[in-house]
Amino acid sequence: MYFCKAAKQFAAAFTVMSAVLIMQVGMSTSAHAEKAPTVILIVDMAGLFTNSEVGQDVTRQVQDLASALQQEDITTRQALAAEAESIREQRANFTPDELQAKAADLQQRQQTHVQKIAMRQQGIQLGRAQANNQIAEVIKPIFSELLQKHNAGLLIDQANVLAGGLDLNITAEAMALLNQRLSKLTVTPVSAEAGSQ
């Protein structure tokens, strides 16, 4: 009996709470209905970094730096291999201790070379990251201008959009402004020590 009475009181209270909640939602919905809907724009961020004039310039420089480093690596490895072959051919002329010392020295230089190349590769990537940061600093005010121009409240990356109208995509406008404001940028490799600070 007591349980039945408590259940009826709970049901009545729940009904009143639901009615109040529905009224509040209705009021907030009508308040939002008076506001214009938020305009959401779409931009292809990856496209701005890869297809813009400055993005292509940065990519070309990084490829050139990497190619030069690769050529240097090949030349040094060939020289070390030739030296190793020379030591092998002349091993009869060395005492065991001299041979061991030459082999240890050669191995140490090979390891040092590999580490140096790895550090310089990392430096090129850090230089590219710095260049991309500089591009991003130019892009930020462009985005602000375009948000204002289109009376938009939100800008999202195309990579996060499942579907959307082409009329909302401002990539071409942003690209044109970026190309006007920044077409070239020097990529400077960064030492790994400086990049980690």
**12-54 residue pLDDT tens:** 443 433 333 333 333 443 444 467 778 889 999 999 999 999 9
Helix (H, G, I), strand (E, B) or coil at 36: coil
Please compute the mean of the pLDDT values over residues 97-104 and round it to a whole number: 92
Locate the domains of the chain by residue range.
1-35, 36-195
Which pLDDT does position 85 carry in this prediction?
Answer: 94
How sure is the predictor about 161, in pLDDT bands with cuts at 50, 70 and 90?
confident
Is residue 182 within 8 Å of residue 138, measured between CB atoms?
yes
Which pTM value belongs to this model? 0.71
